A and B are shown apart, each in its own frame.
Chain A
Amino acid sequence: MKGAKVVVELLEREGVEVVFGIPGGVLLPLYDEIFDADFRHILGRHEQCVGHMADGYARVSKKPGVCIATSGPGATNLVTGVATAFMDSSPLVALTGQVATMMLGGDAFQEADSFGIMMPITKHNFRVMDPKQLPMAMKRAFKIATTGRYGPVHVDLPTDVLNAEIPEKELDKDFPIHAPRRNLNQLLDAVKLLENAERPAILIGGGAHWSSSGSEILKLAEILMAPMVTTLMGKGVVPDTHPLVLGVVGMHGKQSANYVLHNCDVLLAIGSRFSDRVTGKLDDFARKTKIIHIDIDASEIGKNVKGGIGLIGDAWTVVNALIAGLHQRSIKESEWKRRITELKQACTCDFDFKDRPIKPQKVIWELSRNLPDDAIVTTEVGQNQMWMSHFFEMSGTRQFITSGGLGTMGFGFPAAIGAKVAKPSSAVVDVAGDGSLQMVSHEFATTVQHDIPVIVCLMNNGWLGMVKQWQKLFYEKRYMATTLERSPDFVKLAEAYGADAVRVERPSELPEAIERATKSEVAFLIDVVIDPEEDILPMIPPGKKMTDVIRGKCGFNFK
């Protein structure tokens, strides 16, 4: 069987329903086989975006997203998409074309060392130099992407390998990979610590999302009477409407959630890597707190926060083991539970602002109330992301998708496209800024060509807002290269691509615009003109303590 046919055959055997890609010279043999494939091919407009589309698809379906790019510039463009998935542990199989093996190393046209470039930003990668290794690489790629801690795997495919004949029996071979290690030796210590904790708290990270352990975590929290706080990547694993859920922690987190994070005596961290955006100044973080750290990746235990109890395994399994260890033990009814109720009440501010220009908080207030309970929201990166993280209410089965680790502007729109492909029945909304959207606005063409009606809710303030905010707060308002003058008319831009759009300048127009968008049969842009001077506050300045918070309108004060 021809190498290109082998790739398609093995993608089909893996149950791949859709691939996101852009063809190129060295990929012609592969695309000729995709012509007859059983799966759908979505043609993006930039390789970075096909990576994000596959990533968005993976985060919703929890199956590997497949993206394809050609050699040289195709592969280098794909790098940001792959690196974004790597930082957020999202399973991708990224296929790139490569010049023929005989040409490699000779600086051929569209040659780049994509094997070397991809190595530090993938969980693993292959360069298939021998056609016989192609089935091994393809099969292992899918296994590695979804075994243990998820992550992207890259397979570099020289064009002569795609044209080579491969014995069909090679396709039926099994290619095992290393099994992830589980280590629960310290489970009993963890149970004892939690049982005797006076002020326990649970920090939920992205690992809990990937292992679908939200309902188990709720059960454990109810046994322990422990408040739950989340990282950015853990937002939505448990519903914000639950009385023990206090929201997102960190630099722009809820102050009640940060209070709990810094005042608990035992912290159970589930699938979190203790990023600097969560801990702030590491030396001051949790100095008097005993930490139990659950992670599927043994290398995360003790990486940033040292000295805790490590439980190595996937969140669902370990949380269930803790429930089994704790459910018959008597947890003392405590003062802590009463304080959590007070904290939750103290942190419910009214942000139904009627001001003009529209306040961004008001946009999110309306989105929280008017989007369906199964909506999927994605964000770009910057103020839009942090406003959503802080203010958007996760209820029902809503899902929150964001580039938390790499912080990739331009992620949200293509990720929304991938999410909508994975779950067409749900409304999918990218909450964007005008800086981010201009990095990827060409993907409106993809939505229209492939009939993928996503919504873009643009918070248009005419600035690279987050950088401007830092210049305002920390650089004496010396605004350098942050104003986005001469931006296009975004309504006309969307319409030029064949999408539908509306501009909103009054708060009262928001509900109708959101309703129109959710009913639209083509991609829909809501261009909301927001107050350019509104910052995302509260904010703990980088490298500072929780008590150094810049409050803004936040009235939370709990002693």
Chain B
Amino acid sequence: MATVISLLVDDIPGVMQRVMGEFTRKRINVETIVVGKCEKPDKARIVLSISVRVQAEAVLEHLRMLEEVNNAELVEEENHEAYALIGNGEGNMRMTGSIDEIKKIIDKTQPAKYIWAVNAL
């Protein structure tokens, strides 16, 4: 089960480097990253999934101390959403679903190429 952190950040150059620096310092491997503009002007959301919950909890306060991070929260599991892009040689196929559903499909079909990520609100 993934633990998901959602951040609301200032949408300015360098903010990703600053956020990821905390994960580097804490020796945490981030499984998936989604970044994008959001409903608030000049802000962006960063959604990170981490496999070890205790690591996510440990880094949360450090993220909150960053000047450009406006908000940092763990997101409840029911609000997680996974998506994947799967390449089977004849084109790409897109999928959405729960994390478990997407993982199961990937495990079962063993696609030649794929990428998946977790999003959440």
Q: What is A's interface to B at a CB cutoff of 8 Å?
A: 115-116, 119-120, 123-124, 127, 129, 140, 144, 177-178, 297-299, 301, 303
Contact = CB atoms under 8 A, between A and B. Distances in A.
B14 interface: yes
B67 A297 contact: no
B14 A127 contact: yes
A124 B18 CA distance: 9
Contacts of B13: 127, 129
A177 B67 contact: yes
B31 interface: no
Contacts of A115: 14
Contact of B67 (A120, A144, A298, A299): A144
B97 to A, nearest CB: 35
A271 to B, nearest CB: 16
B17 interface: yes
A119 B18 contact: yes
A301 B14 CA distance: 27
Contacts of B18: 119
B21 A299 contact: no
Which size class do B's interface residues fall under? 10 to 19
A119 B14 contact: yes
B14 A299 contact: no
A299 B64 contact: yes
Contacts, number: 30
Nearest 9 interchain pairs by C-beta:
A299-B61, A124-B67, A299-B62, A298-B61, A120-B21, A299-B65, A119-B18, A119-B21, A144-B67
Given A119-B14, A119-B18, 12 more contacts: A115-B14, A119-B17, A119-B21, A120-B21, A120-B25, A123-B67, A124-B68, A178-B70, A297-B65, A298-B61, A301-B61, A303-B58
A298 B59 CA distance: 11
Most chain A beta carbons < 10 A, residue from B18, B25, B67: B67
Nearest to A299: B61
Interface in B62-76: 62, 64-68, 70
A297 B66 CA distance: 11
Given A115-B14, A119-B14, A127-B14, A298 B21 contact: no
Nearest to B25: A120
Contacts of A140: 67
Interface string B62-96: 10111110100000000000000000000000000
Interface in B24-63: 25, 58, 61-62
A115 B21 CA distance: 13
Contacts of B25: 120
B21 A178 contact: no
Contacts of B58: 303
Contacts of B21: 119-120
A298 B14 contact: no
A116 B17 contact: yes
Contacts of B64: 298-299
Contacts of B70: 178
B23 to A, nearest CB: 12
Nearest to B63: A299
